[in-house]
Chains A and B, each alone.
Chain A
């Protein structure tokens, strides 16, 4: 018993040494640039630090201030609204197109490329184009609407009530391709014999979709909802270029506020508290989704 233990502990020691040698370059970076910053900003969220002078701890003051901050509330609501608009529509369009493409369509590659193209192109350039397309007086969208007899079409990006929706349109357009690819991969994993068996039982197209495709796709659907929600909370580039948060505060979202508070107003402590609220929101939504998955996800 004893010698074997000795051999075992020796291999463990050897493996540990080798393991950490391989990990070394990455783990240094991971600690310095990810783990320590995550902890540091948590600590900073309890201070009033603005980058200069002493760091002063103020307890929960930042978080209390957030509760009363009307602007923060607007950004919070905008972020939630943006998610509620963009995630379901993105997923619906991408499921539809993936199911259609999966049924033996001609020129699959051409169509797939077309849908995926916006996702690979840089958001900044894309935003410049959409800004012109949405142009209230000159752009092609309102041009078409006015030709169709609508005299006062919406101002889109320059209208407080339409701006968030317009940004969502661009966001959906930009990200549908990504989710389509995920769904296509999921669809290709569904074994053919399931469909063959259903056909033998006399199932029609619609019945096959609801009884085979959808349940078999539910793990992917679950995963894409989680990713989709997280990504929708992180939209920054589009808002920065399309609206700059305006008009008014109509497109201010959480990440936009965090950026401004930290790098324009230099309120590092307050911005850290905001970032942690964002993190908490994402965490809570994800936990709810994980709890809910048992009811509808089929493994």
Chain B
């Protein structure tokens, strides 16, 4: 605002008017869209703190008359959220670690070791990224059944750990590291694994961060996987637990909203902690894909 008035002293009248009209339209669009995005969240938090009778009052009361924090205590005592959190966390953490290890190893082979089938193999990897999950879903389930891993977290961890996208991401990143660096290390007598471990990986923190966030968010938010594989209540992930709560308590709206808020808080925290990496990751992988 200050800048605009200061500038108007020096700039002619016409230009000032032109700027302000387009400025207004621009801010109108942005604010309108942003509000549409945020209002459902505000409504959800506000509803989660209301008395059941107050939720649907009209016009909408954004601030509850009295804050019903007990909605949260009720939800947390009827639903073993802590268990769902732990289950989800376990799956997400182990999957992410495994993805990082095997994808970076494979990405290194594709980017930095020249062997005849390398490109053809990589092409097969990339091609499978186009195939919808539904195409492999049934045989995967059969296989997991044979391995005795149905109704266990390991089915989800193993399936999540092999992700062509991770290999793709690392390969693209490793290609940007100059070969001369590796040549120098080879001359110094470093083994191939030594190069990967002591030179490439330390240089690849941005790629690792991107994949950590993606993989973590992906397993945290996954619904179809747990729906197929998990049948016992004590193994449920957060998403599956929430879904069961929704179908069972679909008339206790305040509790439902308290449950929903409890479920999304962790991802929002993770997002705020890592947002720059996350956004850069989306932008880079999106564009290069």
Q: Which residues of A contact B (CB under 8 A)?
A: 12, 15-16, 18-20, 22-23, 25-27, 29-30, 32-38, 40-41, 44, 51, 93, 96-97, 100-101, 103, 105, 110-118, 120-133, 135, 138-140, 143-144, 147, 173, 176-178, 181-182, 184-186, 189, 205, 220, 223-224, 227, 230, 233-234, 236-237, 240-241, 254-255, 258-259, 262-263, 268, 271-272, 274-276, 278-279, 282-283, 286
Instruction: Check B26 against A278 for contact (C-beta < 8 Å).
Output: no
Instruction: Check A123 against B136 for contact (C-beta < 8 Å).
Output: no
Instruction: Check B29 against A97 for contact (C-beta < 8 Å).
Output: yes
Given A32-B143, A100-B29: A230 touches B132 (CB 8 Å cut-off):
yes
Q: Which of B47, B103, B259, B287 has the most CB of A within 10 A?
A: B287
Instruction: Check B134 against A38 for contact (C-beta < 8 Å).
Output: no
B105 CB contact (under 8 Å) in A23, A103, A139, A262: A23
Given A22-B109, A147-B58: A185 touches B132 (CB 8 Å cut-off):
no
Instruction: Check A234 against B132 for contact (C-beta < 8 Å).
Output: yes
* A16 cross-chain contacts in B, Cβ below 8 A: 115-117
Q: Given the complex of chains A and B, what is the CA–CA distance between A12 and B110 in angstroms?
A: 14
Q: What are 7 inter-chain pairs, A to B, with CB distance below 8 A?
A: A33-B162, A34-B128, A34-B162, A100-B30, A117-B41, A129-B257, A258-B134
Residues from 223 to 255 in B contacting A, C-beta threshold 8 Å: 223-224, 227-228, 238-239, 242-243, 246, 253
Q: Which residues of B contact A (CB under 8 A)?
A: 22, 26-27, 29-31, 33-34, 36-38, 40-41, 43-44, 47, 55-56, 58-60, 101-103, 105-106, 108-110, 113-118, 121, 124-125, 128, 130-143, 158-159, 161-162, 164, 167, 192, 196, 217, 220-221, 223-224, 227-228, 238-239, 242-243, 246, 253, 256-257, 259-261, 263-264, 267-268, 270-271, 275, 278-279, 282-284, 286-287, 289
Instruction: Check A30 against B164 for contact (C-beta < 8 Å).
Output: yes
A285–chain B nearest beta-carbon distance, Å? 11
* A126 cross-chain contacts in B, Cβ below 8 A: 40, 260, 264
Chain A interface helix/strand/loop/mixed: helix
B135 CB contact (under 8 Å) in A12, A182, A189, A275: A275
Residue of B nearest to A182 (CB): B286
Q: Given the complex of chains A and B, what is the CA–CA distance between A274 and B134 in angstroms?
A: 9
* B30 cross-chain contacts in A, Cβ below 8 A: 97, 100-101, 105, 111
* A97 cross-chain contacts in B, Cβ below 8 A: 29-30, 33
* B43 cross-chain contacts in A, Cβ below 8 A: 129, 133, 140
Q: Given the complex of chains A and B, what is the CA–CA distance between A44 and B137 in angstroms?
A: 12
Instruction: Check B138 against A262 for contact (C-beta < 8 Å).
Output: yes
Residue of A nearest to B33 (CB): A97
Instruction: Check B56 against A237 for contact (C-beta < 8 Å).
Output: no
Residue of B nearest to A169 (CB): B36
Residue of B nearest to A107 (CB): B30
B223 CB contact (under 8 Å) in A44, A123, A176, A258: A123
A105–chain B nearest beta-carbon distance, Å? 6
